A and B are shown apart, each in its own frame.
Chain A
Amino acid sequence: MTPPPVTATPVVEHGPAVGHAAGHAPQGGLSHFLSTYVFSKDHKVIGLQFLFSTLLWFLIGGLLALAVRWQVAWPWSDVPVIGKLFAQEGGQMSPEFYTMLFTMHASVMIFLVIIPILAGAFGNFLIPLMIGADDMAFPTLNMLSYWFMWPAFACFGASFFVEGGAASGGWTSYPTLSTNPASSPASGMGQTLWLLGLTFVGVSSMLGSVNYMTTIILMRAPGMTMFRLPMTIWAMFITAILQAFALPVLTAAGFMQLSDRMLGTGFFSPEGNVVNNAIAGAGGGQPLLWQHLFWFYSHPAVYIMILPAMGMVSDILTVFARKPLFGYRPMVYSIAGIAGLGFIVWGHHMFMSGMNPALGITFMVSTMMIALPSAVKTFNWLGTLWGGKIQFTTSMLFALSFVSMFIIGGLSGIFMAATPVDIFIHDTYFIVAHFHYVLFAGTAMGVWAAIYFWFPKMFGRTMNEFWGKVHFFLTFIFLNGTFFTMHILGAVGFPRRLADAYHYETFHHLQPMNAFMTYCAIGMVATQVIFAANFIYSMFWGPLAGRNPWNANTLEWTAPSPPGHGNFDYQPIVHRGPYEYSVPGVEKDHLMQTDPPNAAAAAAAAAAH
């Protein structure tokens, strides 16, 4: 196959120099500092702000997970280190505290880490650079999308210190446990703050998605047709559409729950509901209504949490396999397919909920079918590696592990999609294994691949490869030790969210396995010290990277590292798709999207003679 013909109109081979940097001479003083590094409207600064904030919350979420694992492995034993903070309880964890821990672990990881690190950090940093724009379409909205995260940080953070503690109704916040303050100690202020925090995250995401859609549609460089976009951008684009259509439902549902809690309405609690001898609101509502509304957003949100990682991994695989992406268009169509089907599968979270079982059959069929585009993507990733020339960089190892782990997470999903099998494994550790394979072993590994890959563009320096590989190796071993074993627990029926399950005859023998998993989890969190040290050291003292350290094709690698304000020193003009690696007859093994066609033709002609 030959490279696709040039359809755009290249005006000049190199456009005029873009002089944004010159227009912003430092003015000095506090206001300059604030407008450059704090209230910046530059998409790169905003992207990095998202990155640093979300990485910090990633640490907090990870520590919450360790505390959860401690209780599951050794229930009611003294908690090391933080046990001292709870001296009035004798250093043990109370069951209320445990329910709060797993609720906040999930809430922090989903709403303050995964969603904002993909769309907020990488979406912001990469979209203008990869489509050849000097910034986002709406820089002020973009800045606001970051600053709307702070009230969310404040709500989630403060909720740990209010009376009754942070929300503890699970991250799904099912009524009537979440709507009735009498139902649990944390169902008071903690739950209200949780709902408010969620709303702020929603506002932030919405501002982001409007911006990403507009920018990708309107601000592509000359010659950058939709089907020359890198997969990262396709994934970000479709994710933004998903967000924009699904989020309003969650926001509305959140306000309905707030209103049930604070204004005495009864959207979600039925007539005559009594909790702890307290009458729960006006009644007349339905707890299942919340579940439908919540999952109508939160199932598409599952794809919001994986599609951008899939896009980034697709790009990274091609760079380090030195090969074009296998099946570019099928890859785009399968992302679109996942997004489309993603809107009609929410009911699979509700097979056991009391929803009409006939509906369960419909949702089973749609859920089975959504495995199809994921399978197509996996086969195409394998096709991309086939016949390649693979470079085992840290970034590539993380990207390869994304593929390997996503296979596990994808396949285990089929068990839950099958309604009869779900009867047994619903709400057991089988589902916990499944979503950790997708979200941690998938998305988080994809995020690390992306951090190691784009770090040179972000900071102008490369991260240390040796320590990167140590980080990869240990994370890979420990994550499988922690999460693979969860499938086995699920097969026994071990339920999630129990502070102590060993008093059940069915589960009493599972403690040693849980202890093993907790040791692995401790190892996994400890390993991240290597990552943090490498990240911080390389930011300041890593070797200088140059513009294109990986010999990649996409537009961001034509800009300086790190790019100045306005991104490109020359207007990039796009002549081809993003995956022209190892083109036969071309001397160097990659043709950048901006390489002029006549040079490529000349090189081919020279090689032919």
Chain B
Amino acid sequence: MGKRLAGIFWSLLFLAVPVLGVATFAIAPAYDHWLPKDVSEHGASIDSLFYFILALTGVVFVVTEVLLFWFMWKYDEAKQQGQATYIQGSHTLEVVWTIIPAATLLFLAIYQMNAWADVKMRRPAMSPTVEVVARQFEWRLRYPGRDGTLGTADDLFLVNDLHLPIDEDVLVQLKSMDVLHSFFLPNVRIKQDAVPGMKIPVWFKAREAGEFDIVCAELCGWGHYKMKGRVTFEPRAAFDAWLERKYAEQGATQPPPEAADMAAAE
């Protein structure tokens, strides 16, 4: 009797895995421990793929864990009369449980490809909206300035305070000066490593105005945790006005190159 009680106890412990597992995932969103708000255009497809895999793996998780519990419960030695079933396998079962997961996994892989291509492969034909240069432990930003071309004398330089327009494609040119970093915008579902020696294009379209975190997601040294930036999405007019304001500030604090040259000549 004691042995059977032990069997019941252990089976129930294993049943707790799917029960509490599903409960954890069910409760988490209510406490805001869940996917952060998404303001991007492509983010919805990433989130729906996440939910799709969650549902699929959730079903497999519950079925296999409940089977494990059920076998522990039912085939407990203390409950069994006679010997265990002598069976060495089943060709049919092996074929079934090879083909079905194989087809599912292959479908899953193919089903993901379009969303991936949208975010990482179908680059919009446009010149960079801003260049982001990562460096220990800050995000250096460089806007093309009034002439619309990066790398000219009228470029606008800022640190950690990224502003971008909403409702239009933006193209970020991502670089690193020193070590690896990763440009992570949780609310835009964007992540891309910045690699020394490489120029990597990153593009997205924000749907909503607001101010959000820029997180460094690749270990970059002791100050990795504080490599924080902010991104502000705003309508085009507000964005242009902000650019003008910053441009004026830069002009006031930092003489244009010609003026500096003249000062040096005197």
Contact = CB atoms under 8 A, between A and B. Distances in A.
Given A352-B193, A423-B119, A488 B28 contact: yes
A603 B120 CA distance: 68
Contacts of B109: 364-365, 368-369, 417-418
Nearest to B200: A354
Contacts of A492: 33-36, 186
A279 B14 CA distance: 56
Contacts, number: 335
B17 A368 contact: no
B75 interface: yes
A425 B189 CA distance: 9
Interface string A549-583: 00000000000000000000000000000010111
What 5 A-B pairs come out closest when comparing CB atoms?
Answer: A270-B197, A387-B85, A357-B120, A327-B89, A420-B115
A424 B89 contact: no
A274 B177 contact: yes
A286 B61 contact: no
A506 interface: yes
Contact of B34 (A390, A491, A501): A491
Contacts of B196: 176, 269-270, 273, 287
Interface stretch (A145-153, A252-260, A373-381): A373-381
A293 to B, nearest CB: 15
Interface string B211-240: 011011111111111101000000000000
Interface of A: 1, 94-96, 99, 168-170, 174-177, 180, 183-185, 269-276, 280, 286-288, 321-330, 352-354, 357-358, 360-361, 364-365, 368-369, 371-372, 375-376, 378-380, 382-383, 385-392, 397, 400-401, 403-404, 407-408, 411-412, 414-415, 417-421, 423-428, 473, 476, 480, 484-485, 487-489, 491-493, 495, 497-501, 503-506, 509-510, 513, 579, 581-584, 589
Contacts of B168: none
A513 to B, nearest CB: 7
Given A185-B222, A273-B196, 20 more contacts: A180-B178, A183-B178, A322-B83, A323-B84, A352-B182, A354-B193, A379-B97, A386-B71, A387-B75, A388-B85, A390-B75, A404-B14, A411-B61, A418-B49, A493-B36, A495-B215, A495-B217, A505-B212, A581-B84, A589-B83
Contacts of B220: 177
A358 B194 CA distance: 18
Contacts of A488: 24-25, 28, 33-34
B224 A390 contact: no
B254 interface: no
B179 interface: yes
A412 B46 contact: no
Contacts of A385: 68, 71-72, 75
5 contacts: A382-B68, A491-B33, A492-B36, A493-B184, A501-B225
Interface string B58-74: 00110011011001100
B149 interface: no
B249 interface: no
A376 B184 contact: no
A371 B119 CA distance: 25
Contacts of A99: 219, 221-222, 224
